Amino acid sequence: MLSRSATSVVTAALLAAGCVIVPVQTEAYDPACRLVTHRIELQPVVLGQLNSCSGQGCEALVLASLGVTAVSAVVSGSIAIVGNVAYWAEHRAGCAAPTPSAPIAAPAT
């Protein structure tokens, strides 16, 4: 018989079975800078579900699907962090301070 914590783990695994986390690029227009900004978001995608299984084979399948979900979250999260830092730098470089309307006079010497 499974303990209460083991049952919780198995239930969570069954709910997450066949789920992977993928990075998705989104775009938006920034009117202040007059450029298109990008951002990477993470979205879960369900590949399949475990409908019926029993015995040790089921336990191995649940553990494997949990491993795939965890690995995809780590890899996709890393991609999102690196991509968003690059997009932030791109936005900072493309969105310069507005130029003054009148030229600044040089100080008299």
pLDDT per residue as tens digits for the range 42-91: 998 887 666 666 677 777 777 777 788 888 889 999 999 999 999 999 88
Residue 47 within a domain: yes
Asked if residue 109 is part of any domain, the answer here is no
Range(s) of the domain holding residue 41: 13-94
Based on the structure, what is the number of domains in the chain?
Answer: 1
Write down the pLDDT at residue 40: 94
Contact 27, 38 (CB under 8 A): yes
In angstroms, rounded to a whole number, what is the distance separating the alpha carbons of residues 12 and 52?
15
Looking at residue 88, what is its pLDDT? 92
Model confidence at 109, pLDDT cuts 50, 70, 90, reads low
- Bridge-partner residues for 26, per DSSP? 39
| Nearest residue to 91 via CA among 41, 21, 47, 29 | 29
| pLDDT interval class at 12 (50, 70, 90) | low
Whether residue 35 is contained in a domain is answered as yes
- 17 part of a folded domain: yes
- How confident is the model over 32-45, as pLDDT tens digits? 888 889 999 999 88
Q: Could you list the beta-strand ranges (E) of 6-98.
A: 19-30, 35-46
Cβ neighbours of 71 (radius 10 Å): 12
Residue 78 forms part of a structural domain:
yes
Residue 46 belongs to some domain of the structure: yes
